[in-house]
Amino acid sequence: MTMSEFGSSRGMGRASEMMWKFWYPALRTEQVRRNKLVRAMLLDVPLVLGRDTTGKPFALRDVCPHRAFPLSFGQFDGANVECAYHGWKFNAHTGQCNAIPSLTEGSKLKCERIYAGSFPCEERDGYVWAYMTNPEGRGLDELPSPVPELPKFGGKFETAQLHAELPCGVDQAIIGLMDPAHGPFVHQAWWWRSRHSIREKEKQFEPIPNGFRMSAHAPSANSAPYKVLKLLTGEPATTTIDFVLPNQRFEQIRAGKYWLSSRTTVTPIRPDRCRLDFYAAWNILPWFPVVSFIVNVFGPRFIRQDTEVIEKQAMGLKYEDRMMLIDDADRQARWYFELKSAYAEAQRTATPMKHPVNGLVTLRWRS
Ligand code: FES
Ligand SMILES: [Fe+2]
């Protein structure tokens, strides 16, 4: 048996869990409206978001550089955010200050040298994303590459979005998401599976940039929705699951010309709180809303079960957050931590990342 312990200081959630210089979904598209300011919290950074007159979203640090008043209490005219305390004005996209009402004529102070923290902001796949440069929202030397898009395999598709807040640090939530062994105990249901349906699984994994992939395989025989899918499409389905730093899980199910593609992200809000966001797109029988039904009925039920388990786990984590990661069932969790530290090391030393997964690896567990 291989076993390893990951020790850490007590108290769940450490600032070191946060990974900077990545895109994170800040709010859902419909939460950010034109000419309106709305708050969000990402990686323990308060943000104020909005859309300019053309609809382009922006994200500023919700802290006025003058005396820390939250900018979200201020006015927004479609281009500039005006702080409600002393009326300083900031360009919504760049954070640059362009007016300080208290200045007298002939003042030497150059207000254009003052900036509110700001974060690159983009809209994609149903979310407004912010690129979290650093906690201050400063010193962005180059524009980041765009938000990775959810793979889609044809022009016409349906979509769905689900979300939940989880009372734990991002690491616990992510390893909870990739953990195959809790299924038969937490996600029991007559139409899905019972603990008696446990059987041996064997899956192949391979390294991908900043992550790892469960190679294309036939979905588990003991999972009902996949059986439904096969019945409907008449084609055998294959599924591929990727995990990519910092927080993204992609799953693709393909059956002939049919496909279902989803992304789940777990985004840190505060050190002890995170949010799960699920976005799916599919082209399976759009005239017969079976996938929509599966996603919108079974999806929330799954998420509720996971949320409940995490709420209970938090009770124990208050006293002990060391963990035992055992054998292949917990191998993905170990890879996650190893990826994180390999990534941090590569950043620190400015060298290529040493990937913890060496070529094809077969993992075996019972679930
Ligand atoms: S605190 Fe914002 S203008 Fe003074
Ligand atoms: Fe789960």
CB contact at 8 A, 23 and 150:
no
3-state secondary structure 334-355: HHHHHHHHHHHHHHHHCCCCCC
- The chain-wide mean pLDDT, for the chain, equals 90
Given this model, what pLDDT does residue 232 score? 75
Mutate to test the pocket of ligand 1, among 83, 90, 114 (most ligand atoms within 8 A of CB): 83
Given this model, what pLDDT does residue 6 score? 54
Give the closest ligand to the alpha carbon of residue 103.
1
Residue-range domain boundaries for the chain: 22-131, 158-366
Decide whether any atom of ligand 1 lies within 6 Å of the 73 Cβ.
no
Give the closest ligand to the alpha carbon of residue 176.
2
Please identify, by atom number, the ligand 1 atom nearest to the C-alpha of residue 69.
Answer: 1
CB contact at 8 A, 304 and 284:
no
Decide whether any atom of ligand 1 lies within 6 Å of the 182 Cβ.
no
For domain 158-366, the CATH superfamily is Naphthalene 1,2-dioxygenase Alpha Subunit; Chain A, domain 1 (3.90.380.10)
Mutate to test the pocket of ligand 1, among 86, 97, 109, 114 (most ligand atoms within 8 A of CB): 86
> Closest Cα to residue 17, out of 337, 303, 325?
337
Q: CA dihedral in degrees (57, 58, 59, 62; nearest 10)?
A: -110
- Residue 317 sits at φ, ψ, to 5 deg, of -65, -20
Closest residue CA from atom 4 of ligand 1: 86
Given this model, what pLDDT does residue 9 score? 39
What percentage of the chain reaches a pLDDT higher than 90? Answer: 73
Query: What's the gap in Å between 290 CA and the centre of ligand 2?
Result: 22
Given this model, what pLDDT does residue 1 score? 42
Query: What's the gap in Å between 176 CA and the centre of ligand 2?
Result: 7
Given this model, what pLDDT does residue 230 score? 76
Please identify, by atom number, the ligand 1 atom nearest to the C-alpha of residue 71.
Answer: 2
Structure tokens at 136: 């201050």
Given this model, what pLDDT does residue 237 score? 86
Low pLDDT (below 50) residues in the chain = 1-2, 7-15
Give the environment of ion ligand 2: residues with CB less than 5 A: 306
Decide whether any atom of ligand 1 lies within 6 Å of the 86 Cβ.
yes
Closest residue CA from atom 1 of ligand 1: 67
DSSP letter at 366 equals: E
Decide whether any atom of ligand 1 lies within 6 Å of the 83 Cβ.
yes
CB contact at 8 A, 83 and 69:
yes
pLDDT tens sequence across 281-328: 999 877 778 888 888 888 899 999 999 999 999 999 989 878 899 999
Given this model, what pLDDT does residue 289 score? 80
For the domain made up of 22-131, give the CATH fold.
Rieske Iron-sulfur Protein (2.102.10)
pLDDT tens sequence across 132-190: 999 999 988 888 999 989 999 988 999 999 999 999 999 999 999 899 999 889 987 76
